[in-house]
Amino acid sequence: MSSTLVAPLLISEPFGFGASDPTYINLPIPVPSQIATTVNAASFTDGFPPSTMTPEASGGLPFFGQDMNGILYMITAYCANFAAGALSVYNSTLSSDISGYPAGAVLVNANGTGAWISLVDGNTVDPDTTAGTGWLPIACSSFTDVTLGGSNVTLTALQAAAPFIEFSGTLTANVNVILPVWVGTQWVVANTCTGAFTVTVKTASGSGVLIPQTGAAAPTSIYCDGTNIQNTGVSTAGLAPINSPVLTGTPTAPTASPATTNTTQIATTAFVQAAIAAAIAAKANLASPIFSGVPTVPTAAPGTNTLQIASTAFVTAALATVPKSKSGTFTCANGVVSVSFGITFPSVPRVFVQWNYASPDTGWVVPGSITTTGFQYQNGNAGTCDWFATVA
């Protein structure tokens, strides 16, 4: 059938909405039969009773125009309602009269932000107040903000019907948020709470999902599988938790810059190598270092004789203790005499010798025969000689 085949005439008002009730209209038309009280009165049980179907000449009675107005009003009121696109809300009286709503019945929710669909026949549960298994929310466009603290919270049916739920407040303990067991229902949940505690969304008797404190910019998508709350389309197998993850393989991260960054950001191997390179750039090599500026070293204790580096202070102190001159006497024989200074001069000294015998004489010893520890002297005479050695 084509949508253009029939052009319905839209009803914007119930038939007889301006009639003066009850003079011209009976409202509502009663359900029970009225024959016992008014033989020609209409009811939902009898419709127009038999007396109105018999000709007046044969004892019949005319029907009441007020009943006709009332019936047409009640019928067209629903027509006008549906023509305007409105759905009915849950009505306990109607629910009782019809022994519960049938499966597939659709009702608008109490705050007008969505609808409920009945999953079972004879459904007498009020979907707006009881988050039972007999109804599911559909086409909802609302938003629920739930303030959390230190206690578990069970969401009402209308709260849970919202497709987007945000948690706020300061956590003082780990908190569970209980959702209804609505199989297939999906939610987007944002945790904007503060406080070093967790929020888990779960069913009353099932398991759930930990909602990280990533705020509205990074919400968590979840759904109900009929027993538990699960991550929507995401398996956590092989994924690392946010809290104390144990990574494997070759995990990567952005490299901090510059190499002097000093925060809690993860340090990559590239960052560590750059930091090491920056740290040793101003250092000298261990083998054959080339220093610049005015390098300093600890000053060794006086008299130290090791491979320790000598500072200028050590050298100056050592030089202050070195003798500048020494004298003595030796006996000269016919030949070469080796004389020891008894000390070690810092450099080769000059040596002066004086002969003490019949023909005294003096002179400087030839330099080639002098070392820092002694000298050699040759003379053809015998006797004693005085010597004196000195360095500049």
DSSP states of 182-202? -TT-EEEEEE--BSS--EEEE
| H helical segments located in 166-268 | none
Give me the residues of the chain with pLDDT under 50, please.
none
**First and final C-alpha spacing in the chain:** 130
CA–CA dist 312, 319 (Å, integer): 10
What does the pLDDT read at residue 69? Answer: 94
User: Can you point out the beta strands (E) in 28-133?
Assistant: 106-108, 115-118
Task: Please give the pLDDT value at position 315.
Answer: 85
Percent of the chain with pLDDT over 70: 94
Indicate yes or no: pTM above 0.85: no
> Which long-range CB contacts under 8 A does 40-49 form with residues at least 24 apart?
40/64, 41/67, 42/67, 42/68, 42/70, 42/71
The span from the CA of 255 to the CA of 275, in Å, is 11
- 249-293 tens-digit pLDDT: 888 889 988 878 899 899 999 998 988 888 888 788 888 888 888
Cis upstream peptide for 137 (omega within 30°): no
Give the residues across from 179 on adjacent strands.
Answer: 203
The SS3 assignment for 39 reads coil
Contact (Cβ atoms closer than 8 angstroms) between residue 197 and residue 172? yes
Q: What is the pLDDT of residues 217-228, one digit of tens each?
A: 889 999 999 999
**pLDDT given at position 358:** 54
